[in-house]
Amino acid sequence: MSHQGYLSQIRALIIDDMTVQQTTLRGQLMLLGITQIDLAANADDAYRMVKARRYGLILCDFNLNQKTDGQQLFELMREQNLLPPDCLFFMITAESGYASVAAATEHHPDAYLLKPITASDIEDRLKAMLEKRQALLPINSKLSKDDLTGALQACEDILAQRNRWFMQALQLKGQTLLKLGRHEEAQTVYRQALEVRQDLMWARLGLARALKAGGKFVEARKLAQEIIDSKGGDKLVAAYDVMAESLEAMGDPQGALWVLRDASLVVPSARRQRLVGESAYRNGDLDMAKAALSKATKASRGSIVAQPQDTLLLAQTLVDMGENSEAMRVVQDATPAFRNAPAFGATSLAIQAQAELAQGQPDQAEKTLAKARQALGKGKADLATIALAKAELKAGNEEAGLALLHGAISADHENPRVKQLIAKTLEETGHEDKIGTVIESVTEGMQNMVADARKLLRDSRIDEAVSQIESTVREYPENSGVLLQAAQIQCMALRLNKAADSARIDTIKDYLDRLDKLLPGHDRVYTMRRYFRETLSMLEKVGA
C-alpha cells in the first residue's frame, strides 16, 4: 500500500484551545490526504473522545491554557491504556526546552513539533513514524489485543530478519517478556542489546526492571544508581522509580522517600509530588508531606488529573501538624469537585472529627464520627478506614478504633505501606503497645488461613482446600496477598486433577483481573499470570 494510502485511512484528533490553530492544523492534514479529523478544544473533551473512539494520529498542543496541559493529558492517556500501540501522538509546542521535559518523563510522545509548523513538517515526521509503525505492526497489533505470546513470536520473526528494526524489536521483546513474567529471559534480552551498545539507556533500564522483577533488589538498585550517575541518566525518572521500589522491597522506605524526592526535582509534576507526599507521610516527615501534597493539589486543581486522595492526605497531614482550621478549609474547597468520589465523604468526615477533637469540641466530634461511621461501610486497607480509626482512638473509643485497624490489615495483610500507616496511627494515638497485636497477630492469622488451605492441598484434599481459600477470598475480596495465593492454589488444583475445569479457570481469571486493578503492572501479578498460562499449557498436553 502506498504512503498516501496509509494517510487516507488515518483518523486524526487535533487538540488545541485556539480555533485558528485548529483550522490551520486541519488544513495541513487534509493537504496530506487525511480527511477523518476530529477537533477538541480542551483536555476534558479530548479525554472523552479518546475513550470513545480509536485514533491513529493525535496532534496535541502542549499549552492548552487550561488546568491540564498537553503532557499531563498524554501521560494520563498512557497510564490508563487509552492509546493503542499503533496510535501516533505528536506534541506541538513553542517551547524549545520541551525535548528535555519529554525525555525525563515516564511517557514521551512519538514526536514533537516546534511552532511554527508546516504541512511538510508533519509529513516528514509521519513518513518516518509510519514506516516504523508498519515495520513493527505485527508486534503492535498483537499487543493491542493483549496477545503477549503472539507479540513475542512476532518479535522473533522480525529479529530473524536482522534488518534496521532489529533493536526496536529487541526492545519490544524485552518489554513483552517482563509482562509475561519471564524476567530471566528479559534479562538475557537486555544484556544482548548492551553487548551491541553499552550506553543504550532503554536496555540498561530494562535490565534494572528485570532484576527487580526477579527479586534481585540489591542488583537492581545498584544498576539504577549507575544509570542515574551516568551522563544524562540523572534526568531519567524511571530509573529513580526502580531504585525506590527496590529500596522499599529491601525494607528501607526512608531511603525510597529520598529517591522519590530527587525524582520530583527532575519532573515536578502532580504525580511526582503525590508519590513524595504519600511516602513522606508514611515515614512521618509531615513537613515534606505538606509541601509535596500542597504542590500536587495546586498543580492539578480543576483538571482531569486531579485526585481526591491528594486533598484528603493533605488535610490529614495538616491535622497531624495541628493546623486544624487550614485542614478544614482544604477539604471544604475540594468538596464540590470530589463529593461524588468514592470514600471522599467518609474520609473527610473522619478527618473533620479529628480536627474537632483537637479544637476541644468533643460533642460536635461525636456527631461527626457518627456520620463518618455510617458513610464508611465496611472497612478497607485505605485512608478512609485508617483516618476513622485514628478519630475513634483519639475520642477514646479504643475498641472501635482497634477493630477498624484489624480490618484494614486483614483487608491487605501483605501490603507494607498499609502496615506502615497503621503503625504510625497507633504510635500517634498512644497505642504503641498494640502494634504487635494489630499488625503481627493479624498478619500471622491471615497467613495461617492460607497455609491451612495449602496443607489440605498437599494432603490431596483438593475440594476442601479450594473451598477454604474461596471462603477467604469472599471475606477479603481486595486482599492482594490472598488473591495471589488463591490463584496459585486453584492452579495447583487444576494440575493435580489433570483436567481443564472451565469453572475453576474462570475463577482464576477473575482473581487475576482483580489483581490487575489492585496491583497494576506489578511483578507478582505478571508472575502469577505466567504460572496460570503454564498450567493451561500443561493441561492441553495432558488432554492431547
Cell numbers representing residue 524 in the block: 507478582
Dihedral sign (CA 100, 102, 106, 111): negative
Regions of the chain where pLDDT drops below 70: 1-6, 97-106, 544
Give the pLDDT confidence score for residue 1 in this predicted structure: 36
Entry pTM: 0.89
Residues in CB range of 310: below 8 A, 6 or more apart: 270, 274, 277, 293, 296, 297, 300
Residue 21 CA to residue 72 CA, distance in Å, equals 20
Rounded to 5 degrees, φ, ψ at 522 are -85, 140
Residue 277 CA to residue 296 CA, distance in Å, equals 8
Give the pLDDT confidence score for residue 354 in this predicted structure: 97
460-543: what fold? Answer: 1.25.40
405 touches 386 (CB < 8 A)? yes
Give the pLDDT confidence score for residue 267 in this predicted structure: 85
**H and E: helices and strands count for the chain:** 29, 5
Give the domain ranges of the chain: 3-135, 460-543
Q: What is the pLDDT of residues 98-131, one digit of tens each?
A: 666 666 566 788 888 888 888 888 888 888 888 8
Per DSSP bridges, beta strands 88-93 and 57-61 are parallel
Name the nearest CA neighbour of 187 among 204, 169, 210, 166.
Answer: 210
- The DSSP symbol for 432 reads G
Q: Which CATH superfamily is domain 3-135 in?
A: Response regulator (3.40.50.2300)
Dihedral sign (CA 463, 468, 469, 474): positive
Give the pLDDT confidence score for residue 79 in this predicted structure: 85
